[in-house]
Amino acid sequence: MLSLPSVDILSAAEHRSPGALLRARHTRGADVLYLDRGRVALGIRETTGGLRHQLGLVEGPAWLDAAFALRARSCSLDMVAQGPVQLRRVALASFEAGVQRLPPLLRGLVDDLAQAYCTQTDLALSRLLQDAEARCAQWLLQHAQATPEGGGLQVRLGERKRLIAAQLGIAPETFSRVLRQLREQGLIAGKGNLLQLPQPGALQLLLGA
């Protein structure tokens, strides 16, 4: 969204370890984060620290929370290091002063882009929180095949769960948890990579939940 700020307002480089929380949801820091290198996952964390829902992945060099700072609002996403990362900070006052020095037309464009990013993020989060179970149910039904004996449906998980979760736009931990919940409800059965769907009609009902 914005280019790298002049070096005189950058903090010294910080090195953070994999799994480090760089910015928490519903917080507004006194600085803005710039990722020099590494990858950062965006989403909603579990209480245990891992991401429950993953919304995106940012690879440096890139701003992390500039859009939220531009809109003077708290961050909507948890930002977690995926591997070692190097980042820098820009004091919020210096960041805002730099934006104000932009030509009016460019400043308006940047503000519009920030507003669009925040709006889309809020919408995606709302959908993500509401329909993880529905997404999994839809995927199971789409990949269901008749059992060899007939009279039933089954799904073979031909890919790793993390790859299936990526297709659904959710974290692997979320996919595993939803499968466990569906199993407890009697909507799926079986072990390993072969799942039976004893109540496909009940799965279908989840799509409209």
Per-residue pLDDT tens digits for 163-189: 888 888 777 878 888 898 899 999 999
* Average pLDDT, integer, range 6-32: 84
Between these two residues, 49 and 116, which has the higher pLDDT value?
116
Partner residues linked to 16 by β-bridges: 85
> Residue 197's pLDDT is what?
94
* Average pLDDT, integer, range 139-164: 87
Residue 110 resides in a domain: no
Residue finishing a domain among 53, 83, 101? 101
Full residue range of the structural domain in which residue 94 is found:
7-101
Residue finishing a domain among 101, 116, 145? 101
Q: Phi, psi at residue 56, to the nearest 5°?
A: -170, 175
**pLDDT exceeding 70 applies to what percent of the chain?**
91
The Cα 51–Cα 192 span in angstroms is 24
Number of domains composing the chain: 2
The Cα 83–Cα 189 span in angstroms is 35
In this structure, the answer to whether residues 72 and 152 fall within a common structural domain is: no
Residue finishing a domain among 50, 83, 101? 101
If pLDDT is split at 50, 70 and 90, which confidence band does 129 have?
A: low
Residue 2 resides in a domain: no
21 neighbors 80 (Cβ within 8 angstroms) = yes
In this structure, the answer to whether residues 16 and 86 fall within a common structural domain is: yes
Under the phi-then-psi rule, with left for phi > 0, alpha for psi from -120 to 50, and beta for the rest, what region is 186? left
> Residue 195's pLDDT is what?
93
Q: In this predicted structure, which of 41-50, 112-121, 130-139 has the lowest mean pLDDT?
A: 41-50
> Residue 208's pLDDT is what?
65
* Average pLDDT, integer, range 44-64: 83
Partner residues linked to 154 by β-bridges: 145, 196
In this structure, the answer to whether residues 76 and 158 fall within a common structural domain is: no
In this structure, the answer to whether residues 97 and 164 fall within a common structural domain is: no
Q: In this predicted structure, which of 35-39, 41-45, 55-59, 126-130 has the lowest mean pLDDT?
A: 126-130
In this structure, the answer to whether residues 58 and 138 fall within a common structural domain is: no
Between these two residues, 151 and 69, which has the higher pLDDT value?
69
**pTM score, whole prediction:** 0.60
In this structure, the answer to whether residues 93 and 143 fall within a common structural domain is: no
In this structure, the answer to whether residues 90 and 32 fall within a common structural domain is: yes
Residue 113 resides in a domain: no
- Helices 172-184 & 104-142 angle (0-180, nearest 10): 40
In this structure, the answer to whether residues 159 and 95 fall within a common structural domain is: no
Under the phi-then-psi rule, with left for phi > 0, alpha for psi from -120 to 50, and beta for the rest, what region is 10? beta
In this structure, the answer to whether residues 158 and 79 fall within a common structural domain is: no
Task: Please report, for the domain that includes residue 178, its CATH number.
Answer: 1.10.10.10
> Residue 8's pLDDT is what?
54
The Cα 201–Cα 94 span in angstroms is 57
89 neighbors 136 (Cβ within 8 angstroms) = no
Residue 111 resides in a domain: no
In this structure, the answer to whether residues 135 and 95 fall within a common structural domain is: no
Task: Please report, for the domain that includes residue 19, its CATH number.
Answer: 2.60.120.10
Residue 107 resides in a domain: no
Contacts of 176 (CB under 8 A, 6+ apart): 161
Angle at 62 between CA 117 and CA 93, to 5 degrees: 75
> Residue 166's pLDDT is what?
81
In this structure, the answer to whether residues 31 and 94 fall within a common structural domain is: yes
Q: Six-digit token pair at 70? A: 């531009």
* Average pLDDT, integer, range 7-23: 84
In this structure, the answer to whether residues 145 and 200 fall within a common structural domain is: yes
Whether residue 2 is predicted with pLDDT greater than 60 in this model: the reply is no
